Each structure stands twice: as structure tokens, then as C-alpha cells.
Amino acid sequence: MQKQDQQLARQLFAISVEGGVLSVEKVAGVLAYLEKHPPAHPLPVLRAYQRLVKAEYAKGQAVVEHAGPITDELLKLIEDDMTRRYRRTVSALAKPSPALLAGLRIRVGDDVYESSVSNQLAGLSV
Amino acid sequence: MSTVLEQIEQQIAKLSSKAVRKNTGVIRTVADGVAKIDGLSDVMYNEMVQFPGGAIGIALNLEQDEVGCVILGDIAQLKEGDEVQTTGKLLSVPVGKGLLDRVVDALGNAVDGRGPIASTEFYPVEKIAPGIIVRKSVSQPLFTGIMAIDSMIPIGRGQRELIIGDRGTGKTTIAIDTIINQAKINKVGLASGDPKFRPVYSIYVAVGQKNSNIVRTLGALEVAGALEFTVIVAAPAADNPANQYLAPYSGAAIGEWFMENGMDALIVYDDLSKHAVAYRQISLILKRPSGREAYPGDVFYLHSRLLERAARLDGKGSLTALPIIETLAGDVSAYIPTNVISITDGQIFLETDLFNQGIRPAVSVGLSVSRVGSAAQIKATKQVGGKLKGELAQFRELAAFAQFGSDLDAKTKAQLDRGGRIVELFKQPAFNPIPIEQQVVTLWAMQKGYYDSLEIKKVTPASVSLREFFATRKDALLTEIRNKAALDKDIEEKIKAAMDEWKATFVA
């Protein structure tokens, strides 16, 4: 990917954020603009833009992988804790994952909080 | 009591189930030993990152949206989308005496098939060099065992002396000779039981060399019995560029352990030209802007930060560095040679012409210099070899001039004759370092004109015979010279008597 494409994607991403939060309307506006005025290399620009939006979106979502059952109270607790920790609204999303054997694995953006049996077993094997 | 135990158990259970936080990223591309990673927002510069399958990488490029990592290990298993995680640790290598007599790779893993390294201590591969306050000036000699070097371009403990020359001029041989000489001195010193004796441990870092060359070096050290005092760090040409880039720093970390713990060490970087090429390769793949000869802008810093780690520390030990640079067609004004020349405290320049003329080691006396070593030279060597460099320089000048005319005055003829004898005297076979006390008597004989009556071609055999005579029959005198490190009237008389005795037996 050329530097210019990456720079354009960054600029488009910057205008998609409103008050530090990704705006759905702004993203739609950017896409509409790109459709009307396609850049020199539309595919790499759109891919880079998608990556940035995806990364930003992931920062506001806590994906809670769990092996056993999980209650709504626990999800709410996680939401509150992550919102406090990251100083932004974080919503929790439950995702069953039997491979964990037991425990939880929470992903918020790049950060992963792991408290699963599979991880502890992996640690023992090293 | 049981309630107390329960409380402790509860506390342990609480801790053991505590969630572990990891910062992760995802591989976007992998090519030529370098991975571009999305995420890893908390990664630090030079931090180790963990790839799936046990491979580790080092974060070298921290960009706005991605991280560029060099991968150390097998990259065949890695693919786009694999998860990578930070470790919070800088790359470290095992250090200590457990590494002596071993061959390790750039990460400190044993590659000699003799099991794991017995070491519990680790040092970071990248470390800021010692500052001004903790340093001490170079004042103790480090004998190479090569007469031309010890008498004219002396090296001190803590010095950085560059060995530079074209391919096949004997650069590695000088380094290996020096390592062998340290082992010989160590054996004599340790056997003497002198509590003040400080052994010198050696580290040989092979960067971008053929495996066969490394094996040959290993063999030479083994035959000379020097391996027990030597660590070999191997990053051969078949290794990925990341390992070749890291190997000198790993070697420096191993050497620093000796220095920090009050011991003396010698490190040979063989060679930094290939190191710079490996770094250029990494930098180009990481898409860093390239400069002169396509090297990145920080190629000077690459070597300066490495060589600055060689030092003599106040109240501790020392680390002496012998970096090697290979030139093309004797061009010392190329980019990397000029950089390293300016960083080091002197250079030993080896010439192809001299080598082809049979003058080995092919040290060019005019272009070689030691900026600090003369402060570390022992008095005895100064007494017998103080004027040699000047005499040889004069000889070279006159020899070039004398080619144009046949009629020379007696003084010029005498100077040429003497110069020719000095050149012959300094010829020395590979892997055969000469102890300093034997060098002193050899040079003393030259100073006093003992070789003047011989044919020039007979000077080398005569000096060999002289040394053998002293080693076998005048060991007490050699020990006295070694211990006193200076020639007084009494010693000179003893040398003269021994010399006359030798002359009577020597048949040219």
C-alpha cells in the first residue's frame, strides 16, 4: 500500500470520529463520498479505512468468551468495569467458546483479559 | 490454626484465578523475516513479542497504525491473521561462566549439541554503554602475541581496535591469535597462583560467515586449547538477518557480564561489514528511508552504540573490542569503514600486497595506529621497540625511492638493510602467538644488531631459534622479564650473556 493511500484513509477516519466517538452517520457519509469521488486506488484506501474503523469499534466492545453459562449480571459487571477502566462506553458481547474449558476471556480492542483453564494449562506446558 | 490455613488457601486461590492482561495484535503480512502487525498498541521499542508456535520477534518499527517486527526463529508456520502478544520484556541472553567452551546462537541457545547452557543469569541484549564517570583510562596491556602489533600498535584492556583489510588478508587470523594468546597467558597466570593475576575471557562473534569457516575457527581454538576461556556466538550466513543483526549485541551482553563482575574480557566482532549488510536488509524490508549505499540513516549509531559498550570500568573489569571490517580493493574511505574507523581507538590495517609478498601478518605499519594502547604498553617493549615504527616507516619510504636508482649512499643502504631485517623479523606463522617476554628478547637482539651479520632470509629462522633457545634454556630469565616488565641493567646483562651463548650455537 502506498503512503498516500494510508494517509487518505487516516484523514477519512479522522472525519468519521465525532467527540472522540465513532459516528455511524459520519462513516456512512464518508462511504457515500468515496462512491461519488473514488480516489486513485479505491481498494487499498477502503481496506485501510475499514481496518481503522474496525480497530476503533473494537475499543468500545468487550467480547466476552465463555466456556460455561454466563449471567446478564456478570455481563453488566464487566461492562461497568471496562467502561471505568477505559474511560469510554464499553458494551459487552457474550460469545460461547468451549475451547476455553472453563473461565473467561475478555477482549477489548488490543487488550485481552484471560482467566481461562485452557490458558493456565498452556502456561503449565511452557 | 485450620481457619488460618483456609484463609491462606483462599488468598492463593484468589491470586491463581486472577485474570492476566495481554496486549495483542494480528499479523497483517509476513515477508523476509519481518512481520507487519495490526494492534499491539502497548508495545515498547525493542520489546520481545510472542508469535504462535514459540517464535519470538522484536518490535523495531512503531508506526501510527502498525508495528514492524523482526522474527527470530521459524517463520514458516506463521500466517496472516495469527495472534501476536507482547511480553513486557526486552530480549535477554544467558550470561556467565557457564557459556565458556560453548557455541551459542544470537539468542544464547546452545548450538553445539552439548545440551542446554548452565546459566541462571540473563543480561539484556541492548544496553546503554557505561557513562563517563564510571570509566577509567586504558592503562593495562592486552597482548595479542603478534610481535608487529604488540611492539608498534599496542592494544590496552578496554580499547576498541579495528582490524581492517581486504578479503583473505588475515583479519580473522589476527583475532584468533589474540584469543589463543589470552588462553596461553591465562594458563600460565592461573598456574602461577598469583592472586593479582586477571585472566582475559574471550568472546568470538561470527556474523554472516560460512558455517565451514566457523568450524575452522572452532577447530583452531580447540587445537590451541583456548576454548575453555572462549564463548562463540554464531550467526552464520544461513541465519536470518535478524539473528545476524542481534549477534554482536548478544556477544556484548555476554562480555559485559565479565566486565561488570570484575573480570576482563575480549570480544571479536567478525565482521561488522556483514552486520551492517544484515541491518540494511532489515531496514529496507521495514521500509525505512535509505541513505548512502542504501544503508539506513542510523547505521553509524548501529555500530557506535555497540562499540561504546567496550570499556574499562573503575573498580570493575574491562571489555576490549576487536571489530573486523572487510574492505573492497583496499578502499578505507567507503561508508562503513570510515564510520567504524572514527568510532574505534585505532586500526590495524592489513594490505593485500604485503600478504602476497609473504609478509604475514600483512600489517601496514604506516596506516595502522593505536590511539590509547601505548599508555598500556609495558616498559620492556617500549625499551626495545620504541623506535621500530619510525624506522619501518622510513624504510618503506626509502624502499619506494630506491627502486628508481641503483647508486645509493652507505647510510641509505644501511637503513634499507635494517628495514629489511625488521620486516623479516616480524613475519610470524598463523595461530602461533609469541609470549611478550620472548618478543622482548627477539627485539632486543634486533636492537643490539645480533641479526646484522646474517643474510636477510636467515633472520626469521634465527629469531625462531633464538626464542626456542630462551624458552628451553633460559626460562628463569624469561619469567623475570615477564614479572618485572622492564629491562634494568642486570637483566640486560643476563640477556646479553644468554644471547652470546645462543649465537655460539646458532648455525645459519
Tens digits of per-residue pLDDT, B91-132? Answer: 999 999 999 999 999 999 999 999 999 999 999 999 999 999
A15 to chain B, any CB pair closer than 8 A? The answer is no
* H or E, element range at A96: strand A91-96
pLDDT at A75: 93
Distance from CA of B18 to the nearest CA of A (A): 6
- Whether B300 and B309 have beta carbons less than 8 Å apart is answered as no
CA B337/CA B331 separation, integer angstroms: 8
B22/A112 Cβ within 8 A: yes
pLDDT tens-digit series, residues B401-453: 777 766 778 888 888 888 999 999 999 999 999 999 999 999 999 999 999 88
pLDDT at B17: 59
For B355, residues 6+ apart whose C-beta sits below 8 A from its C-beta are B168, B169, B170, B362
pLDDT tens-digit series, residues B211-232: 999 999 999 999 999 999 999 9
**Marked catalytic residue, from B371, B418, B421, B467:** B371
Is the link from the previous residue into B289 a cis peptide, with omega within 30 of 0? Answer: no
Q: B17: which chain A residues are within 8 Å (Cβ-Cβ)?
A: 103, 115
- Specify whether B371 is catalytic: yes
CA B76/CA B464 separation, integer angstroms: 56
- For chain B, the helix, strand and coil percentages under 3-state DSSP, each to the nearest 5: 45, 20, 35
Q: What is the mean pLDDT of residues B335-350?
A: 97
Q: Which of B19, B20, B40 sits opposite A110 (nearest CB)?
A: B40
pLDDT tens-digit series, residues B473-502: 999 999 999 999 999 999 999 999 999 999
pLDDT bracket for residue B386 (50, 70, 90): confident
Nearest CA in chain A to B83: A110
Beta bridge mates, B86: B49
Angle at the Cα of A116 (from A110 to A118), degrees rounded to 5?
Answer: 105
Q: What is the mean pLDDT of residues B182-194?
A: 95
Whether B50 shows a pLDDT value over 90: the answer reads yes
A38 grid coordinates: 473514488
Residues 91-120 of A with CB under 8 A from B: 103-104, 106-107, 109-115, 119
A79 grid coordinates: 461492562
- B273 vs A118: which has the higher pLDDT: B273
Q: Which of A51, A111, A115 sits opposite B23 (nearest CB)?
A: A111
B135 residue type, one letter: R
**B104-134 burial: b if 16+ Cβ within 10 Å, else e:** bbbbbebbeeeeebebeebbebbeeebeeee
- Straight-line distance from the first to the last Cα atom of chain A, in angstroms, rounded to the nearest whole number: 38
Return the C-alpha torsion angle B33, B36, B41, B42, nearest 10.
10
A110/B19 Cβ within 8 A: no
Distance from CA of B143 to the nearest CA of A (A): 46
The widest CA-to-CA distance across chain A, in whole angstroms, is 56
CA B205/CA B104 separation, integer angstroms: 10
For B152, residues 6+ apart whose C-beta sits below 8 A from its C-beta are B363, B365, B368, B385, B388, B389, B392
pLDDT bracket for residue A1 (50, 70, 90): low
**Count of Cβ atoms closer than 10 Å to residue B409 Cβ:** 8
B75 grid coordinates: 517463520
Where do we find the cell 480516489? A39
Residues 35-64 of A with CB under 8 A from B: 48, 51-52, 55
Where do we find the cell 544461513? B238
CA B62/CA B88 separation, integer angstroms: 15
Distance from CA of A51 to the nearest CA of B (A): 9
Distance from CA of B27 to the nearest CA of A (A): 13
pLDDT at B14: 54
B195 grid coordinates: 592472586
Backbone φ and ψ for B291, nearest 5 degrees, come out as -120, -135
Q: A112: which chain B residues are within 8 Å (Cβ-Cβ)?
A: 21-24, 85
pLDDT tens-digit series, residues B275-296: 999 999 999 999 899 999 999 9
Please name which of B271, B280, B266 lies closest in space to residue B235, comparing C-alpha atoms: B271
Q: Which of A103, A110, A115 sits opposite B23 (nearest CB)?
A: A110
For residue A48, give the 3-state DSSP assignment: helix
Q: A113: which chain B residues are within 8 Å (Cβ-Cβ)?
A: 19-22
Mutate to test the interface with B, among A10, A110, A120 (most CBs of B within 10 A): A110
pLDDT bracket for residue B2 (50, 70, 90): low
Q: Which of A48, A110, A119 sits opposite B24 (nearest CB)?
A: A110
Please name which of B454, B459, B455, B449 lies closest in space to residue B426, comparing C-alpha atoms: B459
Backbone φ and ψ for B332, nearest 5 degrees, come out as -85, -5
Q: B41: which chain A residues are within 8 Å (Cβ-Cβ)?
A: 109-110
pLDDT tens-digit series, residues B401-410: 777 766 778 8
Structure ipTM over 0.85, yes or no: no
